[in-house]
Amino acid sequence: MIWLASHQDEVTAQHTGEERRERGRSFTGERLPDDDPRFRADLARHLAAYHLARRYCTGKLVLDAGCGEGYGAALLAGVARRVVGVDRSLLALAHARRQQARPNLEFVCADLERLGALSERFGVVCNFQVIEHLREPSGLLRAFAEHLADDGQLILTTPNRLMSFSENPYHAREYTAEELAELLRRFFSRVDIHGVAGSAKVTAYEASRRRQVERLLRLDPLGLRRLLPEPVVRWAFARLARIVRKRVAGDEGQRLDIEPDDFFEQSSADRALDLLAICRLPRVTATLPGG
C-alpha cells in the first residue's frame, strides 16, 4: 500500500464529504461499481478499454490514473510488471484494497493533477473515462506527461461527443476526435485517435437506451432541468439512469448480457462510442523526487 504522505491529510479533508454522500457503493453518474447488474453493459464498456490496453502493458510499469474500485487495474496487473492505481476516493480505494489485492498491484490516494510524490516514470499511463469530468484538464495532462517515460505511452478514453445523447451532469465537457487531438498535442508530440465501437448487440442496446432517454427528455420540453440546483440534478440523474436501464431490460428482445468482448478498437473515430487516444513523446518533463 502506498500513501502520498504530503497530500494524505488534504485529500482526506477534501473528500470526507464525498464519502458521506456516497453512502455505499451505487451508481452516481460519476462512479460505476462492479456489482450492479442493471449497469452490466456500462461496466462492460468501461472494462473494454482495459482489455484493449493490456497489449500495451505487457511487462511494463503501469499507472492506472483514476482507478476507482480497482477492477480494471487488476486486469492490467495480469500482464504488467507492476501497476499503481491512483484515485482520489478513499471509499473506492478501500474497496479496491479489499477486493483486488495482487502482489504487483498498489493503490495510491491522490488527486490526479498532483502526482508529485510519485518518484517513478511509467511505461504506460492509462486514463479511462476521466477527462470529460474536468473543465480544465491541462493540469491532468501535464502530470501524465511528466510521469511518462521517454518511450512510454498514454492511453486515454473518453466518450465521443458525436455519439452522446444523455446529459450526464458530471461531464464538464465531451470531445470530438478533432477537439481531443488538438488538446492532447499540447502535451504530446505524437497523438493517434482511434475509436471503441460495439457489436450489433451493443448497437441495439444503445438504440434502445437512446429511445428511453429521449422519452424522458420530452417530459421537460422547456429545459427547466437546467435551472435546478446541481445536487438535485445529480440526484435525479442517478435515479433516472436506473429507470432507463430497467426499461431497456424490459424491451422485447433486449438482454443485458453485453460483455467487454462486444467492444472493439477501430482505426477511426467514425461512429465510435468512445474515443481512444494513444499519445507518445511527452513535450513536458520534470525532475521527480529521487530522480
pLDDT score at 119: 84
pLDDT value, residue 14: 42
Instruction: Give the pLDDT of residue 1.
Output: 29
Burial class of residue 9 in the structure, from the number of CB atoms within 10 Å of its CB (0-12 exposed, 13-18 middle, 19+ buried): exposed
Tell me if 89 sits within 8 A of 18, measured CB to CB.
yes
Q: What is the pLDDT of residue 115?
A: 86
Sequential pLDDT tens for the chain (291 residues)? 233 333 333 344 344 444 444 444 567 666 776 778 888 999 999 999 999 999 999 999 999 999 999 999 999 999 999 999 999 999 999 999 999 999 999 999 998 988 877 889 999 999 999 999 999 999 999 999 999 999 999 999 999 999 999 999 999 999 999 999 999 999 999 999 999 999 999 999 999 999 999 999 999 999 999 999 999 999 999 999 999 999 998 864 555 689 999 999 999 999 999 999 999 999 876 666 555
User: What is the arrangement of strands in the sheet containing 122-128, beginning at the earlier edge strand?
Assistant: 105-109, 82-87, 61-65, 122-128, 148-159, 274-282, 188-198, 263-266
Distance CA 43, CA 26 (A): 13
The pLDDT of residue 276: 98
| Domains contained in the chain, CATH given | 5-197+261-282 (3.40.50.150)
Q: What is d(CA 147, CA 183) in angstroms, rounded to the nearest whole number?
A: 18
| ∠ Cα 69 78 107 (to 5°) | 35
- In this structure, are strands 122-128 and 61-65 parallel, antiparallel, or unpaired? parallel
Task: Please tell me the predicted confidence (pLDDT) of residue 290.
Answer: 56
3-state secondary structure of 211: helix
